Amino acid sequence: LRNLLERFYEIDTARITKFITDSLLSKNLSVIAMAADICGRKKIEPGLPVLSQLLSDSIWNIRQLVARNIGKIGNISYTDSLRKLINDPHTYVRMRASYGLGIIFPSDILDYISDVLDQERLIVRNNFIEGIKKRDEPIDMNFILQAYNRLQTTAGKKSLVLLTPYTRADRKSRRIYKKLLKEKDPDIRKTIYLSIFSGENEFWIENMKKYSRKEPLADLRQFINKSF
């Protein structure tokens, strides 16, 4: 049914948009889930007002699926709606809200970066990172440095530096990378190396090789050399 509705949406956008928006008001969870999913997949912005109302639903499953699809639509006007769910009592709701915020990536994200990445649950932190990876443009390496300095936990910093191979490939990024290598915690540096290795970005792989001699721990230098 979802596939059919998505095909019909391309043929008669106005009528299917109204049908999907009306379906969001259903009392049936499966119907709401399907409608919200189509809104997210097709970026149906007229559905956003209803989706936003559902963010305060008493059923956590509705809150989480709605948060996810608001993020996928990507309208920055609904950032505050998602931000309110960062402290939701249910982990999956916080996870989806963080994912949505990562996709939208609002200009004031640094103001509450700690609220997202210093959370205890790994699934919440890493969904924010995965949301950022879904963006069409690379991240400014300076964002990582600024966010890093605002985080309080090692766990949050380790999640953050997973973005390293998804940053711009330029000299500025290289300079900031060298600053991050001065981080005292070897777990942070190892996470950076692992992220570069798994990211398969040639620019960052070459930089990791080039600056491997600056790594103070012999074990980590060997780890880099053995990885290639």
For residues 103 and 5, what is the distance between their CA atoms, to the nearest angstrom? 25
Q: Which of 184, 124, 187, 135 is nearest to 163 (CA)?
A: 135
The 8 Å CB, 24+ separation contacts for 30-37 are 32/62, 32/65, 33/65, 34/1, 34/2, 34/5, 36/65, 36/66, 36/68, 36/69, 37/2, 37/65, 37/69
Contact 102, 131 (CB under 8 A): yes
**pLDDT for 67 beyond 70:** yes
What is residue 196's predicted lDDT score, i.e. its pLDDT? 93
Q: What is the DSSP string of 163-176?
A: GGGGB--SHHHHHH
C-alpha to C-alpha distance for 123 and 146, rounded to whole angstroms: 22
Prediction pTM value: 0.88
Whether the per-residue pLDDT at 226 is higher than 80: the answer is no
pLDDT in tens, 4-54: 899 998 999 999 999 999 999 999 999 999 999 999 999 999 999 999 999
| pLDDT tens, position by position, 86-132 | 999 999 999 999 999 999 999 999 999 999 999 999 999 999 999 99
